[in-house]
Amino acid sequence: MMEDMDAAALAEFLRRRRAELKPADVGLPQGARRRAPGLRREEVAQLAAMSVDYYTRLEQQRGPQPSEQMLASLARALRLSRDERDYLYRMAGHGIPDQGSTASHVAPALLRVLDRLDDSPALIISTLGESLAQNRMADALFGDASARTGWERSDVYRWFAHPETQRELYPEHDRPRQSRAMVASLRVAYGAAGASSRAGELVDLLQEVSDEFARLWERHEVAKRFEDHKVLVHPEVGAIELDCQVLFTEDQGQALLILTAPPGSEASEKLRLLSVLGTQEFTSQP
């Protein structure tokens, strides 16, 4: 429900929250001497994936009414609690997000951990496999997920809707196990939220687009499955054997996945190379 925006209250709230954050709070280096406490406007804009000019206009009460997607980005960038996020939406003239939505807000506690992880791929996902936040190493390994919208944000959806591209990251022999694990995890979310939830919507959609999903769904396997050890195949560095640690929020609604390799191992060297390559794309030389 759209309402009138309280531009003055929104601007003051953004300025206050920005002033209360330190660069270390959001995984940024301290950098040169700062004339004022808190983050710079350009740093918030970078974290929220928006232009500095647009963010500046919001703080100066000159900006247009931000979209819900933009507000969600600002809530993540400023590490807002759920109450603070709801206030942000109201001041911007929007109704608060559906509390049942698993992707409406990223848990600040998980973001604080993610901010401190730089040398290992790490990402925060919802119960529906939606990538909510990734560090630069996860971008390099899995691809940048920030531009995805709608169900394309969900690994589960892309796994069954676009198998020709989505499954290249896993060795061929491991793909059937991965399919079963994704369906079993979706069963957990479906059981917790019900048929009328977003989980139910995703199930209905996948049953229409994937015969494989429909067959696996009929097995009624239920389990949150995160393999302790997995092999991922990157197009530049090849197969990487990684260990996976998982940290859940208290309500089990979101999970932080951290992929590591033993020090001195071949996989560790490949991660180091991946850190250098980043998200660059290389072509073979003649």
Q: Which tokens belong to 67? A: 């979209």
Burial of 284 (0-12, 13-18, 19+ CB in 10 A): exposed
For 128, 130, 153, the CA distances from 146, given in Å and listed in that order, are 16, 11, 9
In which residue ranges of the chain is CATH 3.30.450.180 found?
Answer: 108-277
pLDDT tens, residue by residue, 169-223: 999 999 999 999 999 999 999 998 889 999 999 999 999 999 999 999 999 999 8
Which ranges in the chain are annotated with CATH 1.10.260.40? 7-91
Domain 108-277 has CATH 3.30.450.180: yes
pLDDT digits (tens, 9 = 90+) for 102-117: 456 888 889 989 988 9
Q: Please provide the average confidence, as pLDDT, over all residues in the chain.
A: 88
- The DSSP secondary structure of 6-63, one letter per residue, reads -HHHHHHHHHHHHHH--GGGGT----SPPSSSS--HHHHHHHHTS-HHHHHHHHTT-S
**Measured between alpha carbons, how far is 184 from 177 in angstroms, rounded to an integer?**
11
pLDDT tens for each residue of 230-257: 899 998 899 999 999 999 988 788 999 9
CATH of domain 7-91: 1.10.260.40
DSSP run (H or E) holding 109: helix 108-115
